């Protein structure tokens, strides 16, 4: 949960998640919709899908006991080099490193590393440097100390060098410009995307569709719609999306407004409509499943924050 998400935001989710899924067996036997529902609002939903898949793999392949060796941990869905290193060292005292943003910053400054830390060769060197430090009986303590040092003292701006226990070893401090490190390539601006979504009602029930299991917001439920083509007007795009993706012909629609949402790589403007009568039989393309639910239950299925914004807009109009 802490990957890409602040501690303050995670804590209440963490408590509720453990109450709902108290052990690996409970998570492994859960329904994906239940897991996504407990995760809703945290974003990066592939983490939740991978966590459930990893629990199932632990039950199936390791008798329900989390493996202790690095290679075995790396074999679990969603467990990469960093997560495996953290688990192996902190939980099982294995002498393996971790490398996250905080550790990268600490090591870059100590080593006075004047290269782009996004380059694969530089990343590999940092892993080697971190690995050289994980000696002694409690490597997990060292890894946690490095992460905590970066989070509390060796911060991106105004680092607390005077209180840093590693200040005597820090080449960037001796040079006098620790804030200039680490060096990172300029980030691309999020791609601007426009899309439509429509509240489609039939006999008082609203149409909800489930996104494919993989990909952006995989497995979550939303109002039907889709991205606009270049130069396409929102209502025109909604009519096309409903026809192509759910097999319905729209007779009329009223735009109630738009909401914005920023993903890691795109800034989405979603135009929201109340739809008039639709004709045809529901036939899905690009969606995984559909349901007709009472309009009051728009948020009853696992959904993303974008769906909350759209529902609030519809509720107010």
Closest CA relative to residue 113, chosen from 34, 186, 172, 198: 172
Percent of the chain clearing pLDDT 90 (strictly above)? 86
Residues 149-173, mean pLDDT to the nearest whole number: 96
The overall average pLDDT reported for the chain is 94
Q: Are 66 and 111 in contact (CB under 8 A)?
A: no
pLDDT digits (tens, 9 = 90+) for 65-77: 999 999 999 999 9
Helix and strand numbers (H, E) in the chain are 13, 10
Higher pLDDT: 233 or 315? It is 233
Residue 123 has pLDDT above 90, yes or no: yes
Per-residue DSSP letters for 185-220?
PPPPPPEEEEEEEEE-EETTEEEEEE--SSSTTTT-
Cα→Cα distances 261→49, 55, 249, Å? 22, 31, 28
Higher pLDDT: 264 or 281? It is 281
pTM of the model: 0.79
* Cα(244)–Cα(246) distance, integer angstroms: 6
Cα→Cα distances 279→200, 201, 230, 269, Å? 11, 11, 27, 27
Q: How far is CA 37 from the centre of its chain?
A: 14
**Could you give all domains of the chain from N- to C-terminal order, each with its CATH number?**
1-66 (1.10.340.30), 90-186 (1.10.1670.10), 191-316 (3.90.79.10)
Gyration radius (Cα) of the chain, Å: 24
Tell me whether residue 315 is exposed, middle or buried, using C-beta atoms within 10 angstroms of its C-beta: 0 to 12, 13 to 18, 19 or more: exposed
Residue 251 has pLDDT above 80, yes or no: yes
**Taking the CB of residue 272, how many other CB atoms lie within 10 A of it?**
25
**How many Cα atoms are found within 13 Å in the side-chain-facing hemisphere of 268?**
20
* Cα(238)–Cα(74) distance, integer angstroms: 43
Structure letter (DSSP) for residue 90: I
**Residue 317: band (very low, low, confident or very high) from pLDDT cuts 50, 70, 90:** low
Length of the chain: 317
Q: How far is CA 156 from the centre of its chain?
A: 23
**Taking the CB of residue 288, how many other CB atoms lie within 10 A of it?**
14
Residue 136 has pLDDT above 90, yes or no: no
């Amino acid at each position: 949960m802490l990957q890409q998400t602040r501690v303050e935001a995670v804590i209440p989710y963490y408590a509720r998640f453990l109450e709902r899924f108290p052990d690996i067996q409970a998570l492994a036997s859960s329904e994906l919709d239940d897991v996504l529902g407990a995760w809703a609002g945290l974003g990066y939903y592939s983490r939740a899908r991978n966590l459930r898949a990893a629990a199932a793999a632990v039950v199936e392949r390791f008798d329900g006991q989390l493996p202790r060796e690095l290679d075995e941990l790396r074999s679990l869905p969603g467990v990469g080099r960093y997560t495996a290193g953290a688990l192996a060292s902190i939980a099982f005292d294995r002498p393996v490193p971790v490398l996250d943003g905080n550790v990268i910053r600490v090591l870059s400054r100590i080593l006075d590393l004047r290269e782009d830390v996004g380059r694969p060769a530089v990343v590999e060197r940092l892993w080697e440097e971190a690995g050289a430090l994980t000696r002694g009986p409690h490597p997990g303590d060292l890894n946690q100390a490095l992460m905590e040092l970066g989070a509390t003292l060796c911060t991106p701006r105004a680092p607390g060098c005077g209180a840093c226990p590693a200040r005597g070893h820090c080449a960037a401090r001796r040079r006098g410009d620790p804030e200039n490190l680490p060096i990172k390539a300029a980030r691309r601006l999020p791609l601007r995307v426009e899309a439509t979504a429509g509240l489609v009602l039939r006999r008082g029930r609203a149409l909800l569709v489930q996104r494919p299991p993989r990909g952006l917001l995989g497995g979550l439920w939303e109002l039907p719609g889709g991205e606009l083509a270049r130069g396409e007007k929102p209502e025109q795009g909604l009519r096309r999306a409903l026809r192509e993706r759910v097999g319905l012909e729209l007779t009329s629609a009223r735009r109630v407004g738009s909401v914005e949402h920023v993903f890691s790589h795109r800034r989405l403007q979603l135009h929201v409509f109340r739809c008039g009568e639709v004709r045809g039989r529901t036939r899905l393309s690009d969606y995984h499943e559909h349901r007709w639910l009472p309009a009051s239950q728009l948020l009853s299925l696992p959904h993303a924050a974008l769906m909350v914004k759209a529902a609030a807009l519809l509720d107010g109009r």
